[in-house]
């Protein structure tokens, strides 16, 4: 098969997700396993999501609404955009893939930070793009360098805001400087998977940039704060003409009916998510304090994960944590040899993590 598959696929390293809890239990014969590897919401979604799923489960023989009518209407109202400015995906991963499919030809260039979310690179490589990976500067995006990297062949720039894996954000004025003079035929893909966690006053309000910058798409997801990672719903916000282009390559039933119902119910329960945000913030402080007590340095984050310098080979530390039933992300393969990325868990999970980490180090 190797000789018939598209040449670009041979260069792609498969995405390695955080190990599922059940797999670690099975492989290491452990009873209790904590997963802090995929930035999920450990408290689960709003209880309203379960009710919505119950109500819709009887219609599983029917195709979902390919247009996501109710979810679209509710989100458009909340965001202050037109319903036709929204596009839905099977997770926001699918929006990344759709954008690349729509814009990138063999030999084009895609600009991204190095390291950044792996799907940007995987999707771009499959399309045959050359990757311009711009190193982080003090763990922040080097936006001036990223802008200089935009050349005549550039089709997309990926901006994670906040980014994964460092958890830093782009301010209003940094974004304005970046967009100033960027060609209109370059798609600026702003990935806001952790949008709901940010409370910095100077965080860019990217949706308000769309009327002036019709080449922006803002992607968000129900997988992180909203706690619906298993159902797969994400959405993009962009100018109607751009949404119309992406819709041409969208699979007609890409968001399933239970996902649509659950996402809608979650949106209507903001009180629940305010509570989650407060808990995560408190637990973030708990982890900062205790990691620093262990003499570790970390990158201050605006998300529900923390990039931690463990001061030694991260693969060794991750493996030892795994043997004690704690799954974290080893960042070695992202070029960060001494770093692990840890999701902010519940109080119990974080205490366990700190105590096991103390023993290991």
Ligand X SMILES: *Cc1c(COP(=O)(O)O)cnc(C)c1O
Contacts with ligand X, residue ranges (CB under 6 A): 39, 91-93, 117, 160, 164, 191, 193, 221, 223-224, 229, 234
The residue (of 117 and 169) whose beta carbon lies closer to ligand X is 117
Q: Quote the CA–CA distance of 64 and 231 in Å, as a whole number.
A: 13
In three-state secondary structure terms, 136 is coil
250 touches 235 (CB < 8 A): no
Q: CB of 58: closest distance to ligand X in angstroms? A: 26
Q: CB of 94: closest distance to ligand X in angstroms? A: 7
Residues 6+ apart with CB under 8 A from 133: 112, 113, 114, 116, 121
Q: CB of 97: closest distance to ligand X in angstroms? A: 10
Per-residue b/e over 337-348, b at no fewer than 16 CB within 10 Å? eebbbbbbbeee
Q: Quote the CA–CA distance of 109 and 151 in Å, as a whole number.
A: 8
145 touches 134 (CB < 8 A): yes
Give one DSSP letter per residue of 137-153, joined into a string: BTTB--HHHHHHT--TT
Q: CB of 193: closest distance to ligand X in angstroms? A: 4
Q: CB of 225: closest distance to ligand X in angstroms? A: 11
Residues 6+ apart with CB under 8 A from 256: 64, 90, 231, 232
The residue (of 221 and 350) whose beta carbon lies closer to ligand X is 221
Q: CB of 2: closest distance to ligand X in angstroms? A: 29
Sheet containing 86-89: order of strands: 86-89, 234-238, 216-221, 187-191, 154-160, 109-114, 130-135
Q: CB of 359: closest distance to ligand X in angstroms? A: 29
The residue (of 204 and 324) whose beta carbon lies closer to ligand X is 204
The residue (of 218 and 291) whose beta carbon lies closer to ligand X is 218
The residue (of 56 and 303) whose beta carbon lies closer to ligand X is 303
The residue (of 255 and 325) whose beta carbon lies closer to ligand X is 255
Residue nearest to ligand X (CB): 91
156: exposed, middle or buried (C-beta count within 10 Å: 0-12, 13-18, 19+)?
buried
The residue (of 46 and 164) whose beta carbon lies closer to ligand X is 164
Closest to 160 in 3D by CA, of 190, 186, 139? 190
């Amino acid at each position: 098969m190797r000789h018939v598959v598209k040449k670009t696929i041979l260069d792609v390293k498969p995405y390695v997700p955080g190990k599922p809890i059940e797999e670690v239990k099975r492989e290491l014969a452990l009873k209790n396993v904590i997963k802090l590897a995929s930035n999920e919401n450990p408290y689960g979604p709003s209880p309203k999501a379960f009710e919505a799923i119950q109500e819709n489960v009887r219609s599983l023989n029917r195709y979902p609404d390919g247009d996501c009518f109710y979810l679209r209407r509710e989100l458009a109202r909340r965001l202050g955009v037109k319903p036709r400015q929204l596009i839905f995906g099977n997770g926001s991963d699918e929006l990344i893939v759709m954008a690349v499919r729509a814009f990138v030809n063999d030999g084009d260039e895609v600009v991204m930070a190095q390291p950044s979310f792996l799907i940007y690179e995987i999707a771009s490589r499959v399309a045959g793009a050359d990757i311009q990976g711009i190193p982080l500067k003090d763990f922040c995006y080097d936006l001036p360098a990223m802008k200089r990297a935009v050349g005549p062949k550039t089709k997309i720039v990926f901006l994670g805001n906040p980014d994964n894996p460092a958890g830093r954000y782009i301010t209003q004025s940094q974004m304005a400087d970046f967009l100033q003079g960027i060609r209109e035929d370059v798609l600026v893909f702003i990935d806001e998977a952790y949008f709901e966690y940010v409370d910095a006053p100077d965080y860019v309000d990217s949706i308000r940039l769309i009327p002036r910058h019709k080449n922006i798409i803002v992607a968000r997801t129900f997988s992180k704060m909203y706690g619906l990672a298993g159902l797969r719903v994400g959405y993009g916000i962009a100018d109607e003409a751009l949404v119309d282009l992406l819709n041409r390559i969208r699979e007609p039933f890409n968001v399933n009916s239970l996902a649509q119902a659950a996402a809608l119910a979650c949106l209507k329960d903001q009180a629940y998510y305010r509570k989650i945000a407060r808990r995560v913030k408190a637990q973030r402080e708990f982890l900062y304090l205790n990691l620093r007590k262990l003499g570790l340095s970390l990158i201050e984050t605006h998300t529900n994960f923390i990039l931690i310098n463990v001061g030694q080979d991260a693969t060794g530390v991750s493996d030892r944590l795994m043997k004690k039933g704690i799954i974290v992300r080893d960042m070695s393969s992202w070029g960060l040899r001494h770093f692990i990325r840890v999701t902010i868990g519940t109080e119990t999970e974080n205490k366990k993590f700190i105590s096991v980490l103390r023993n290991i180090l």
